[in-house]
């Protein structure tokens, strides 16, 4: 995920971690009485930042994020340009046709937000933020409609 890179950069810049420091990469990490998991179902031991990025270790970055605090993460995310991109300008500058689509239950990209940018935006019924994982055939049909 993109945020792993942002958290890594924030940690290195704030000197909360060095390239040589190691944090654990357990298959599950508890915080606030709730379990948080890695995509893999096994413990990778202690990893450096580079290794944690290489192995997509969610639990490493949860720990690093906790050490950093939200302010430093937000500052780095803004430095990377995340937040409020000028979507109309991005769409106008696209060099190829753009199809906006979102899952009906996607909390990060609501269908009504996409329709405000493009009245022909597609809503994928019953799907959420990870529509491509939840129902790959629905996404394939959408892509085929546009010759992809």
pLDDT at 48: 97
* Mean pLDDT, residues 101-129: 88
The C-alpha atoms of residue 32 and residue 48 are separated, in whole angstroms, by 25
User: Within 18-130, where are the H helices?
Assistant: 49-54, 58-68, 70-79, 87-92, 111-117
Within 13 A of 128's CA, how many CA atoms are on the CB side?
4
Structure confidence by residue, pLDDT tens digits, 60-94: 999 999 999 999 999 999 888 887 788 899 899 98
Contact 110, 118 (CB under 8 A): no
Widest pairwise Cα distance in the chain: 50
* Mean pLDDT, residues 91-117: 87
| Residue 138: pLDDT over 90 | no
pLDDT at 81: 81
């Amino acid at each position: 995920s993109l945020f792993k890179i942002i958290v890594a950069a924030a940690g290195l810049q704030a000197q909360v971690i060095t390239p040589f420091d190691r944090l654990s990469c357990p298959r599950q990490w508890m915080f606030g009485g709730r379990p948080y998991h890695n995509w893999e179902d096994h413990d990778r031991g202690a990893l450096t930042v580079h290794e944690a990025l290489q192995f997509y270790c969610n639990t490493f970055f949860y720990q690093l994020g906790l050490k950093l605090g939200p302010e430093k993460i937000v500052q780095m995310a803004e430095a990377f340009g995340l937040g409020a991109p000028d979507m109309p300008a991005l769409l106008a500058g696209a060099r190829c046709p753009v199809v906006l689509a979102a899952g009906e239950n996607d909390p990060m990209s609501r269908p009504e937000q996409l329709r405000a940018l493009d009245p022909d935006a597609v809503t994928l019924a019953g799907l959420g933020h990870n529509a491509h994982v939840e129902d790959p055939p629905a996404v394939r049909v959408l892509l085929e409609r546009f010759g992809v």
